[in-house]
Amino acid sequence: MTERPILIAGRNGQLATCLRDLAALQSMPVVALGRSEFNLEAHGELRRAIDPLEPSLIINAAAYTAVDLAESEAARAFSINRDAAAALADRAWQMNIPFIHISTDYVFDGTKLDAYEESDVPAPLNVYGASKLAGERAVLAAHPLATVIRTSWLYSPHGNNFVRTMLRRCDAQPSVRVVQDQYGNPTSALDLASAILQLSGRLLTHDRRTTAGIFHLAGQGETTWHGFAQGIFALLAHRGIRVPQLEAITSEQYRTAARRPRNSRLDSSKAERVLGIRLPLWPCSLETCLDQLAEGGIDAERNCAGWRQRNSTVSNHESGQQAATADL
């Protein structure tokens, strides 16, 4: 593999953090650029930040992800999720290097009964989903050989995500109300990062035409937000952690500014068939995530306060989608 670095757009988000950590373990040269290095809303500055690095590949792991806030900040959401993504893709095309762009299950409206395939027609319910769909299209128009990866319900030991939200609730309140009628695929950011780095190696050594286009890549197995919370609390209780009572509610009982799809399950069989990549079952990856969080220590009262203090950086990818839990 070339010694020229892989450029990661995004530095402190959960996916970018996992990409950086895994790349270091694999001795892969990477450079991650965050807000201090370039402003995603100042598209003209991107070239000045990118060109001196002479990257071999660009991974766009940065995005505007505040799902509810996007309803009142549509211009900013589109500026980052569409225009900045297109500018990054265009620069990669001009430099003749591969480009990987991360997108979301929220491009769908959730009315399909089965898991969504790449060929299904998108119909986002909210501004965030619309901006990400526009970003997909702009990226592929700017870089016809780009790889667009849609993922869902991302979580990790880092940043702002559903798992860490549930951990904070362990010692904050006696009960938690969680939506039970929204279905999806919880996805470990560590698993996704590993798959992206595997794909990066292929892009740098093989014909890029076979990897061009849209691929769904999410954790295996489906559940609801309530089922996801059940899985988290069951593993915590097994570790001797005090957990709150869990109450199932409907989407109607938890009103949000942005509508969420009832079904955002992704069929990832194309990625397995074409790329040879399949992510693990989500319950197995969840246990690994909790093991990593536990390395931070559990306090004397056997609650989650020790975990709550770690990794407080807000994720800059997929952090806003997990606002599907009530009273959080």
Whether 254 sits among the annotated catalytic residues: the reply is no
DSSP 169-196: HTTT-SEEEEE-S-EE--EEHHHHHHHH
Catalytic residue selected from 64, 116, 128, 155: 128
202 and 194 Cβ atoms separated by less than 8 Å: no
Residue closest to 161 by CA, chosen among 187, 133, 126: 187
Q: How far apart are the first and last CA of the chain?
A: 45
CA distance 252 to 92: 44
User: How far is Cα 10 from Cα 105, in angstroms, rounded to an integer?
Assistant: 20
Two structure tokens written together for 42:
């100042």
Pairwise CA distance, residues 159 & 313, whole Å: 5
Name residue 292's amino acid: Q
Residue 17 burial by CB count (10 A; 0-12/13-18/19+): exposed, middle or buried? buried
Question: Which sequence positions are flagged as catalytic?
Answer: 128
